[in-house]
A and B are shown apart, each in its own frame.
Chain A
Amino acid sequence: MSDTAVSSSAPSRPSRLQLALGKPGFLIGCLIIALSTLLALMPNVFAPYDPNYIDYLAIRQPPSWAHPFGTDSLGRDSFSRVIHAYRVNMQMAILATVFALVIGVVVGALVGYYRGIADMIFGRVVDAIITFPFLVLVIAVVAVLGPGLINMYIAITMVGWVYYARLMRAEIIAQMGNDYSDAGMVMGYSDRRIIFRHLLPNAITPVLIYWMTDMALAILLGSSLGYLGLGAQPPQAEWGVLIAEGRNFITTAWWLSLMPGIAIVLTGLGFSLIGDGLADLLRPRG
């Protein structure tokens, strides 16, 4: 019909999927996380042994065809333990961050939109929390609540939401500089609609990217706490716990600590690569 309609649709821009396929880093990240998720969902399919089966006849054996990652000081198969640890550690990546994400996004959006006294109080809370090193604060909370996975999630959430909220607040304030939020008010839309339907979808991208990095950090933090004996408790197979168990034999049985270490690095890399790719893909075009 009209020539404008034809010309505007013909040389269409590449879709988001096409863009994503052109990014090898992003694809590798997706692949790593997809594999990790698979391992976390069904470790029994991939692990050759029961992770807690003790075999006193095969103690601290070096990697072999029977035991690809060797065995530990109780004769448990390292490979199976690393695989089974995927479930706990992937769970950490989600559970230690998702509540912080939700709380942070809502609080950040509200204080960014309304400002005023709530914003001032929020500013002081942020100052107070970011003054302490993250790990020290989490350890302090765990020390109060007691060690264990659930308490660790609570502790990380209590500290971590602040970082999301701070980012969200700044992004909402920046978006409010655009006329479309004023236009929403002029249209008589409710505050809730303006915040959650208009501002939030435009403000959330950096928060989602931070979330990806934070999942990598959560695994690292969870393993650190496991290593320190404050997170997952032995005999639970968890990468930090596994590294701690191998610590005494680091010169003689290096595989005990190295293999879970590689798993941490790989998963962390996967999340980081996804975050990096998302930063490009989610940017509004035009």
Chain B
Amino acid sequence: MSEAVLEINDLSLAFPISRSLADWVAGRPGKVVRALNGVSLQLQKGETLGVVGESGCGKSTLARCIVRLYEPTSGSVRHHGQDIFDASVRGDRAYNRRVQMMFQDPFSSLNPRMTTGQILSEALRVHEMRSEDQIPERVAELLDLVRLPQDAAEKLPHEFSGGQRQRIAIARALAVEPEILIADELVSALDVSVQAQVVNLLLELQERLGLTVLFVAHDLRLVRHVSNRVAVIYLGRIVEIGDSETLFSSPSHPYSQALLSAAPSMDPDDKGQKVKLEGELPSPLNVPTGCAFHQRCRFADTRCHSESPSLRPLEGRGEVACHHVEKILHNA
């Protein structure tokens, strides 16, 4: 078993919504958006962990918590055993160097008034990665690494296409020689043909540099292609986590089954027994009691209404958070 570089324990995050005057007069408590409800997972060294789920399920919030853009309400994130939200570690910018993030929108993640060369050399300079006279050389190296032409260093972000900008973002993240890369919807803003280029570049760099990657995306086929392990998130909770191939070929949790069967199949003969979901995704303002999925689940009973299932390991599969998973798998 390889070592865990990042351990997330029971992470919860609730964003308070400002109380209206009417609420205040009536004495109603302020509402909160429960973006994360007790997420626990471990990131193993060198792996790619895919995180999938519907829009608004908390994927990006999880990613942003890991890089300390959001502070969780409770729970902890430990990097090599050290809590990153601990008061003594908070001010330590070295953690940011070890864990880097790439953003979804390539048009807003680069400062429009800085050239690629300035963006990269700033990262090198602030973290003192190289001495002043070695910086131009390293910038050239980084551009090579992400396969951008050398004259890119002189150009401003608006002179590049979306795919090229994402490569600049990758180069910026790699400039500080991180250990973990968080890719938050890295390619969802790009054309399909460019997506493949950028993702393959990421995979190749991961192998070459021994990076650990957390790959957040909603494109299931893409996640299957890049990940070793996958976590399925529903309403701020992990409902299933496990080996990518097993999970995609035979999902265990009823939600994973529905989610995966919603992905279009490339097989023309596959008429598919689609598992259709009833109802809407509940609002994170009002998370259901018990199992968050019970309102839409075919197998739900009274126990699911009252008792929240926790993740438990399943023989030959990953970990699943469902009271009835054995029964469901047995009947299938």
- Residues of A near any B CB (own CB < 8 A): 2, 4-5, 8-9, 177-180, 182-183, 185-190, 193, 197-198, 201-202, 284-286
List of 4 A-B pairs having minimum Cβ-Cβ separation, nearest first: A286-B158, A188-B96, A188-B93, A179-B109
Find out whether the CB atom of A187 lies under 8 angstroms from the CB atom of B96.
Answer: yes
Among the 9-residue stretches B15-23, B98-106, B238-246, B288-296, the one with 4 or more Cβ atoms under 8 Å from chain A is B98-106
B111 touches A4 (CB 8 A): no
Known: A5-B151, A9-B151, A193-B126. A186 touches B112 (CB 8 A): no
Q: In B138-181, which residues have CB < 8 Å from any A CB? A: 149, 151, 155-159, 169, 172, 176
Within 8 A of A (CB), among B171-199: 172, 176
Q: How far is the CA of A251 from the CA of B67 in the complex (A)?
A: 74
Instruction: Determine the distance from Cα of A186 to Cα of B126 in the docked complex, in whole angstroms.
Output: 13
Q: Does B69 contact A (CB under 8 A)?
A: yes
| Distance A193 CA – B125 CA, assembled complex (angstroms) | 12
A284→B67 contact, CB < 8 A: no
Question: Given A186-B100, A188-B96, are A198 and B151 also a contact pair (CB < 8 Å)?
Answer: no
Given contacts A5-B149, A285-B158, contact A180 B109 (CB under 8 A): yes
Given contacts A188-B93, A193-B126, contact A183 B109 (CB under 8 A): yes
Let me know if A2 and B113 touch, CB within 8 A: no
Minimum C-beta distance from B64 to chain A (A): 8
Q: Are A198 and B111 in contact (CB under 8 A)?
A: yes
What is the interface residue range for chain B against chain A? 35 or more
Contact of A188 among B110, B113, B127, B156 (CB under 8 A): B127
Chain A residues contacting B331 (CB-CB under 8 Å) are none
Within the complex, the shortest CB–CB distance from A111 to chain B, in Å, comes to 19
- Name 22 interchain pairs, CB-CB below 8 A, sorted by A: A5-B151, A177-B108, A178-B108, A180-B110, A182-B69, A182-B109, A183-B101, A183-B103, A183-B110, A185-B69, A187-B126, A187-B172, A188-B94, A188-B96, A189-B126, A193-B126, A198-B111, A198-B114, A285-B158, A286-B112, A286-B156, A286-B158
Choice from B93, B104, B112, B151 contacting A202 with Cβ under 8 Å: B112
Whether B149 contacts A187 by the Cβ 8 Å rule is no
Chain B, Cβ-Cβ closest to A182: B69
Does B203 make an interface contact (CB < 8 A)?
Answer: no
Q: Kindly report which residue of chain B lies nearest to residue A181, judged by CB atoms.
A: B111
Chain A residues, CB < 8 A from B159: 8, 286
For A199, the closest partner residue in chain B by CB is B111
Contact of A284 among B97, B100, B158 (CB under 8 A): B158
Determine chain A's interface SS by DSSP, over half rule. helix
Measured CB to CB, the nearest residue on chain B to A193 is B126
A199 to chain B, nearest CB (A): 9
Chain B residues with CB under 8 Å of A2's CB are 149
Inter-chain contacts of B94 with A (CB < 8 A): 188
Question: Shortest Cβ distance from B114 into chain A, in angstroms?
Answer: 8
Q: Give me 7 other A-B pairs in contact (C-beta within 8 A), A8-B155, A178-B108, A187-B96 excluded.
A: A179-B105, A182-B109, A183-B169, A185-B96, A186-B100, A197-B122, A284-B158
Nearest CB of B to A148, in Å: 41
B113 & A201 in contact (Cβ 8 Å cutoff): yes
Q: CB-CB contacts of B115-138 with A at 8 A, as 1s and 0s? A: 000000011001100000000000
From A183, which residue of chain B is reached at the shortest CB distance? B109
A179 to B159, CA, bound (A): 18
Shortest CB distance A1–B (Å): 8
Report Cα–Cα, A22/B135, bound state, in Å.
39
> In angstroms, how far is the closest chain B Cβ from the Cβ of A226?
40
Residues from chain B with Cβ under 8 Å of A188 in the complex: 93-97, 126-127, 176
Question: Could you say which of A180, A201, A286 contacts B108, with CB atoms under 8 Å apart?
Answer: A180
Q: How far, in whole Å, are A284 and B156 apart by their CA atoms in the complex? A: 10
Contacts of B105 in A (CB 8 A): 179
CB-CB under 8 A for A179 and B113, given A186-B69, A187-B123, A187-B126: no
Complex CA–CA separation, A198 to B119 (angstroms): 10
Does the CB pair B93–A286 fall under 8 Å? Answer: no
CA distance A284 to B46 in the complex (A): 40
B108 touches A179 (CB 8 A): yes
On whether the beta carbons of A183 and B126 are closer than 8 Å, the reply is no
Residues in B neighbouring A183, C-beta threshold 8 A: 101, 103, 109-110, 169, 172
A2 to B94, CA, bound (A): 38
CA of A193 to CA of B103 in the docked complex: distance in angstroms? Answer: 20
Which residues from chain B contact A186 at a C-beta distance below 8 Å? 67-69, 96, 100-101
Chain A residues near B123 (CB-CB < 8 A): 187
CB pair A182–B158 under 8 Å, yes or no, is no
B263 shortest CB reach to chain A, Å? 27
